[in-house]
Amino acid sequence: MRLVIQPDYENLARWTASYIARKIELFKPTAEKPFVLGLPTGSSPLGVYNELISLYKLGKVSFKHVVTFNMDEYVGLAPDHPQSYHFFMWENLFSHVDIKRENVNILNGMAEDIKAECQRYEDKIAAMGGIDLFLGGIGIDGHIAFNEPGSSLTGRTRDKELNLDTRIANSRFFGNDIDRVPRLALTVGVGTIMDAREVLIIVNGHNKARALQHVVEGAISQMWTASAIQMHQRAMVVCDEAATYELKVGTFKHFLDIEKENLDVASIWKSKLTW
């Protein structure tokens, strides 16, 4: 696993957006061979999406031949509900770039047959040839997508009951009223994420420090589902310094040292990003 430590969230966002843009550029996507990108919601990716929009406006990235698959969606929220992940994605990224509507894939939380919807999603990912890069965030309990503690580390797209921690954390988007936070979500599984050719997780802020420690230094565990990325051949965590407070000094120094040539944004645009 790579750990790229940035001084603050602003630098984390700029670095991650440049990395994604450069990946797309190097891939040279076409209509026949699009770049397939997995995407998260939440506050962690917001700065990354803002930076991607800026790079698009500067002509440094195009989403014309990018196909996206979002990680998850609440069950029971219509796409026009302000807290639905459909709404979030169009509001914070898709409406501002040149992505084609038909290339956007988000689980339908209103589907009558939830199981069929999840299977359809898995089949579509497979039909696109798999995901080239899966971007993700993590919850304070180390969950990835909506794979709450105790989720199978080989799970596929399915419905998941949200736990209390997540519903409390996400109640900030629902007027701080936990009863308004849906109890059920559709989510890609850890296995779905692990099948991506590359996984990039962003972790920022002091409140994620314990989760980051488990993901980087802890044992692989269903109780910290993002820790499964230790088993991925091309997994990278991009974090800010605030999130590193629970890491050993030695771990922190080791990753800063081995990544020292790669930490500035300019290095990304010069690199072929092969690792």
Q: Which stretches of the chain bind ligand GLP, using CB under 6 A?
A: 40-44, 71-72, 137-139, 145-146, 166
Q: How far is the CB of 68 from ligand GLP (least distance, A)?
A: 14
Catalytic residue chosen out of the listed positions 72, 73, 195, 240: 72
Complex with ligand GLP: residue 209 or 256, whichever CB lies closer = 209
CB of 1 to ligand GLP, least distance (A): 17
Q: Is 148 a catalytic residue?
A: yes
Catalytic residue among 148, 195, 198, 240: 148
Nearer to ligand GLP, 165 or 264 (CB): 165
Residue showing the smallest CB distance to ligand GLP in the complex: 42
Q: Write down the least CB distance from residue 145 to ligand GLP, Å.
A: 5
Distances (CA, A) of 243 to 136, 137, 170: 15, 13, 19
Closest CB to ligand GLP among 29 and 136?
136
Least separation in angstroms between residue 275's CB and ligand GLP is 24
Smallest distance, Å, CB 42 to ligand GLP?
Answer: 3
Could you confirm whether 141 is annotated as catalytic? yes
Q: Are 143 and 164 in contact, with CB atoms under 8 Å apart? A: no
Active-site residue flag, 198 = no
Q: Give CA–CA dist 21/29, Å, rounded.
A: 12
Which of the following is catalytic: 51, 117, 132, 143? 143
* Alpha carbons 241 and 40: distance in angstroms, whole number: 21
Enumerate residues 6+ apart whose C-beta is below 8 A from 140: 165, 169, 207, 208, 210, 211
Cα–Cα distances (Å) from 2 to 89, 196, 208, 219, 260, in that order, read 27, 16, 18, 16, 12
Q: Which of 73, 141, 195, 240 is catalytic?
A: 141
Q: Spell out the residues 6+ positions from residue 8 whose beta carbon is closer than 8 angstroms to its own.
A: 240, 241, 242
Judged by CB, which is closer to ligand GLP: 56, or 88?
88
Confirm whether 143 is a catalytic residue.
yes
Residues belonging to the active site:
72, 141, 143, 148
